[in-house]
């Protein structure tokens, strides 16, 4: 399971040591600003007296190079795709520079999409661009399933994802946060995942964590454009994992799906299979954050999968931040 450490501190002296390790000499650091939005790590914006003058550093507790996988993913995306990602300056997990593992990144221009108030037509333009970015990623295929850099990979996507469901189901605290009735239906739903996700197509490159909180945008004369796609959980997976994750946080994706399906058609049965990916997301949020909404969302999603309870008779479960039941994406 993920080790949450969003509230660590970074001193000026520690920031200078990080910068000196990267730039050499004795750089002067003028600002260390805590950045909002980090749920797993603690993120800081740095300003200093040498080009490029700004950078972002993410820190986490020591005990191995926490950021090695993310650095590898960002380097891969920069080298093999046109996906806009921050350049990796430096990462270290030894604890010899500062008493934390850290990842030093390029400062990406723009603002975070999460909570940004934009007109619907402007939002549609961003989603069309996002569809192009993800479509390009999905043109890259692997021979086996799993996260980039993982040893060996797996021969079956259904085995990979069933193992992820089993891992989050076994998380500490889940038994106390969900009712026995909900857990029984969750277990029944998880048992269905393997057979229903067996036909996943070829192992396809996906970002793995696309939502507004990981999307940086900037406004220019032509409107809003994407400047950065952050925090990749890069993997060779079922493409529907990416699509379902986009919808679970915001199903107002008509422009995205219209543009996306001009290039990639949705496979028959997507509306059913996405429920298993939603269930994993819901269980993970209950295990990590114990959010009331996700407790209800877990129960409703599992009930929809299994055909048990009121949720199965009223349509799809309600996704986070969405007031109406989710229906089929407007994919044209």
For residues 57 and 199, membership in a common domain is answered with: no
Q: What CATH number is associated with residue 41?
A: 3.30.200.20
For residues 188 and 89, membership in a common domain is answered with: no
Which pLDDT score, from 0 to 100, does residue 170 have?
A: 95
Give the mean pLDDT per block of 10 residues along the chain (332 residues).
Answer: 72 97 97 82 95 96 80 96 97 93 96 89 94 95 88 87 95 93 97 94 95 93 93 96 90 89 94 96 93 93 86 46 35 33
Instruction: Tell me the C-alpha distance between 313 and 272, whole Å.
Output: 14
For residues 130 and 189, membership in a common domain is answered with: yes
Which pLDDT score, from 0 to 100, does residue 318 have?
A: 47
Which pLDDT score, from 0 to 100, does residue 324 have?
A: 36
Is position 251 within any domain?
A: yes
Domain count, the chain: 2
For residues 50 and 116, membership in a common domain is answered with: no
State the residue range of the domain holding 102.
Answer: 12-106
Query: Is the preceding peptide bond at 107 cis, omega within 30 degrees of 0?
Result: no
How far from 72 is each of 78, 86, 132, CA to CA, in Å?
A: 10, 12, 23
Which pLDDT score, from 0 to 100, does residue 38 have?
A: 64
Is position 329 within any domain?
A: no
Q: Of 106, 140, 158, which residue constitutes the final position of a domain?
A: 106
Q: Classify burial at 111, counting beta carbons within 10 Å of its beta carbon; exposed 0-12, middle 13-18, buried 19 or more.
A: middle
Which pLDDT score, from 0 to 100, does residue 330 have?
A: 32
Q: Look at residue 220 and give its three-state secondary structure.
A: strand
For residues 239 and 118, membership in a common domain is answered with: yes
For residues 89 and 196, membership in a common domain is answered with: no
Is position 328 within any domain?
A: no
For residues 120 and 245, membership in a common domain is answered with: yes
Q: Token pair for residue 322? A: 């969405």
Which pLDDT score, from 0 to 100, does residue 221 have?
A: 84
Is position 326 within any domain?
A: no
Is position 165 within any domain?
A: yes
* 285-290-295 Cα angle (round to 5): 75
């Amino acid at each position: 399971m993920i080790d949450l450490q969003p509230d660590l501190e970074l001193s000026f002296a520690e920031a200078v040591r990080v910068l000196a390790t990267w730039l050499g000499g004795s750089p002067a650091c003028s600002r260390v600003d805590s950045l909002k939005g980090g749920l797993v790590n603690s993120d800081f914006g740095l300003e200093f007296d040498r080009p490029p003058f700004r950078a972002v550093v993410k820190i986490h507790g020591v005990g191995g190079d926490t950021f090695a996988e993310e650095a590898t993913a960002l380097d891969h995306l920069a080298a093999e795709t046109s996906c806009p990602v921050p350049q990796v300056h430096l990462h270290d997990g030894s604890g010899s520079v500062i008493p934390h593992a850290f990842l030093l990144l390029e400062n990406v221009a723009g603002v975070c999409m999460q909570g940004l108030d934009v007109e619907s037509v402007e939002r549609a333009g961003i989603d069309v661009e996002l569809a192009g970015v993800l479509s390009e990623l999905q043109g890259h295929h692997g021979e086996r399933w799993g996260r980039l850099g993982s040893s060996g990979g797996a021969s079956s996507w259904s085995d990979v994802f069933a193992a992820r469901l089993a891992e989050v189901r076994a998380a500490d605290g889940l038994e106390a946060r969900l009712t026995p009735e909900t857990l029984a239906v969750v277990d029944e739903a998880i048992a269905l995942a393997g057979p229903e996700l067996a036909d996943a197509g070829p192992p396809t490159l996906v970002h793995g964590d696309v939502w507004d909180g990981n999307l940086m945008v900037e406004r220019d004369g032509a409107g809003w454009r994407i400047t950065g796609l952050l925090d990749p959980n890069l993997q060779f997976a079922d493409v529907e994992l990416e699509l379902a994750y986009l919808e679970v946080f915001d199903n107002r994706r008509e422009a995205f799906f219209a543009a996306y399906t001009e290039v990639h058609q949705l496979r028959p049965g997507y509306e059913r299979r996405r429920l298993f990916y939603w269930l994993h997301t819901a269980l993970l949020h209950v295990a990590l954050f114990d959010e009331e909404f996700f407790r209800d969302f877990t129960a409703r999603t599992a009930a929809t999968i299994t055909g048990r309870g009121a949720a199965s008779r009223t349509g799809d479960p309600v996704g986070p931040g969405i007031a109406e039941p989710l229906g089929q994406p407007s994919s044209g």
